[in-house]
Structures are given as structure tokens and as C-alpha cells.
Amino acid sequence: MKTLTEIFDESASWHTPGRSFRAELQHVLADDEGRVVAMHHNSGTRAGKRLDVDCCIVSEIRDGRFIDGREYVFDLHAWDEFWS
């Protein structure tokens, strides 16, 4: 948490649906303009339901600080069913 506190800008925002899950990082891509894409696989169990989907987080970094993060779920129907 200390490291996150150091790199997250005080006005940073994060956008993700749902409550919680296990995320396994698979790939990270970055460009020279401060964008980072992290591909990961999310899994979990809840109320007899199983989640097993791929996702990515698109982040914006400015002056070494995290500014914005948006999570995209490849199978939004499965994501919604898990959290409903």
C-alpha cells in the first residue's frame, strides 16, 4: 500500500465493476506516452457461482504518477452473472 500511495496521484481515479476477485497478471504493454495495458485473468467463487474471465486494465501515467485506470472485461455477461 505504501508504494501505491507513492505512485497514485491524489486526484487519480479507478473504474472497475464488481466487489473482489483473484487477478493473475499475464502481459503488460506500455507506450512512450504514459499508457499501460495490463492483461490479466480473473477468477473467483461466490454463492455457488464461478468466475473465470480475461480482463485488461488500461492505465494512464503522467510524471511518474498513476492518473487513471479503466478495467475492461472480455466476457461482460459472465462477469455480470457472477456478481448478480
The string of pLDDT tens digits covering residues 9-52 is: 777 776 666 556 877 889 999 999 999 999 999 898 888 999 99
Task: Show the domains of the chain with their CATH numbers.
Answer: 2-83 (3.10.450.50)
Read out DSSP for 6-57?
HHEEEEEEEE--SS--EEEEEEEEE-TTSEEEEEEEEEEEETTEEEEEEEEE
Dihedral angle over CA of 4, 10, 16, 19, nearest 10: 70
At residue 54, does pLDDT exceed 90?
yes
pTM of the model as a whole:
0.69
Matching residue, cell 499501460:
36
Q: What is the mean pLDDT of residues 54-60?
A: 92
Distances (CA, A) of 15 to 19, 31, 50: 12, 21, 22
Instruction: Please report the pLDDT score of residue 11 as a whole number.
Output: 79
Task: Count how many Cα atoms sit within 13 Å of the Cα of residue 75 in the half-sphere of its side chain.
Answer: 13
Tell me the one-letter amino acid at 17: P
